[in-house]
Amino acid sequence: MMTQGLGLSLILLLAVAAGFLLGWRFNQKRSNAFKQTFAHSYYRGMSYLLNEQMDNSVDKFIDSLEVTGETLEIHLALGNMMRRKGEAAKAIKIHQNVLERRGLTSKQHHEAQLELARDYVSAGLLDRAESLFQELIELDSFYKSQALEQLVEIYQDEKEWDKAIQSANMLSRLKGDKEPRELIVAKAHFCCELALQDIERNDFESATQHLQQAVAFDKNSVRASLINAELAYRNSDYETALALLKMIPQQDPERINITLPLLCDVYEKLGDSDGLQETLKEWLERYPTNQLVIRLADKIRATRDDYAAADFIAEQLKRKPSIKALNRLVELHLLHSEGKAKENLQLLKQLVDKVIAEKPAYHCVKCGFSGAHLHWLCPGCKTWGSVKIIKGVAGE
């Protein structure tokens, strides 16, 4: 906090100093009396800054440095810095002051408008932000793309998925061939969110349409395949559910784990225990994960016995060390041990449980956010699909 405070004061000080020099140059031809007043304002501003009286220093800054083509960047930079520091009200004041000035080019005016709208977002005044962004889009401003990105984020936060898709589509058209993968993924997730709302209302026809739309945006949408498979399962269409689930490893092998509970249920409904074992083996061969080892071990245990399951896990551990698989192995051995050996295994299990509990299962590959559960939308950086399972000895 102290460093941040000092950094802010330093930048404000530099801003005021730069403003002072520009103002001095601008006012060279003016009267001495004016210069004295001008200088006085700056010294007052600096004094407030040094005493960290932020409210007064912002007012002084606005009063003493006229917004011109030359000083515009200083005003905008100070406003943006205030916003980043969480001082949205002060940022609004600075950017509104810029917008009140006449003589700016339309590009300069739009830049200030964009920053003011971002201040409104920070202040939670989303309606005002939305209408300013909309205005920039309607004006076909140089900042149209940034305004659309912000609008998508607002609609996403407000869960207004239709509007989010509409804005994202406009953004896609604007980006043309350079449409980022993140935008494509986001649009597919917006459709999945709509499908989930449909399912909640029991409108399965609309849900299916929204899922088709999701796949049209992103043919590798694991979430769309999974929701579709769940719908087919509900309709007792187990063959379709199975076909959809089997597509997922090709769409994204890192998402295999989330398909496993439904995959097991589907095979159970089909009464095809051998089929499940075959699929698990095939997936394990191609995309090894600890969950696959554990599920397969459970199957071996059900069809044969604990010893066969333990041997299977031990064999897999030699190929790929894993704390989670080790834990299941210890559990199996505990069932058949007694006396001192049992005591020692219990101690080992307590330790392994602790290691597993302390390790998050998922992390965001973009911002590093980590947690125990899968989030389709990263709570840290608000990116869709960036939260993935953690690999390695302690992970998957």
d(CA 105, CA 82): 24
**By C-beta, is 261 or 379 nearer to Zn ion?**
379
* Least distance to Zn ion, CB of residue 275, Å: 37
* Least distance to Zn ion, CB of residue 90, Å: 28
**By C-beta, is 152 or 330 nearer to Zn ion?**
152
* Least distance to Zn ion, CB of residue 371, Å: 11
* Least distance to Zn ion, CB of residue 28, Å: 51
* Least distance to Zn ion, CB of residue 3, Å: 25
Question: What's the helix, strand, coil split of the chain in %, to 5?
Answer: 75, 5, 20
**By C-beta, is 288 or 380 nearer to Zn ion?**
380
Count of residues engaged in binding Zn ion, rule: CB under 5 A: 7
The label of the residue with tokens 């140059």 reads 25
Residues 6+ apart with CB under 8 A from 257: 289, 291, 389, 396
Mask for 256-295, x = binds Zn ion (CB under 5 A): ----------------------------------------
d(CA 133, CA 334): 63
Q: Left if phi > 0, otherwise alpha if psi is -120 to 50, otherwise beta: which for 229? A: alpha
* Nearest of 134, 158, 161 to residue 147 by alpha carbon: 134
* Least distance to Zn ion, CB of residue 146, Å: 20
Indicate the helix (H) or strand (E) that contains 362: strand 362-364
Mask for 55-94, x = binds Zn ion (CB under 5 A): ----------------------------------------
Q: Is residue 342 a contact point for Zn ion (CB under 5 A)?
A: no
Mask for 350-389, x = binds Zn ion (CB under 5 A): --------------x-xx-x--------x-xx--------
**By C-beta, is 197 or 370 nearer to Zn ion?**
370
Q: What's the longest Cα–Cα distance across the chain?
A: 99
Report residue 5 as tokens: 């405070």
Mask for 236-255, x = binds Zn ion (CB under 5 A): --------------------
Report residue 366 as tokens: 């973009």
d(CA 386, CA 164): 19
* Least distance to Zn ion, CB of residue 374, Å: 13
∠ Cα 321 277 324 (to 5°): 25
The site for Zn ion (CB under 5 A) is made up of 364, 366-367, 369, 378, 380-381
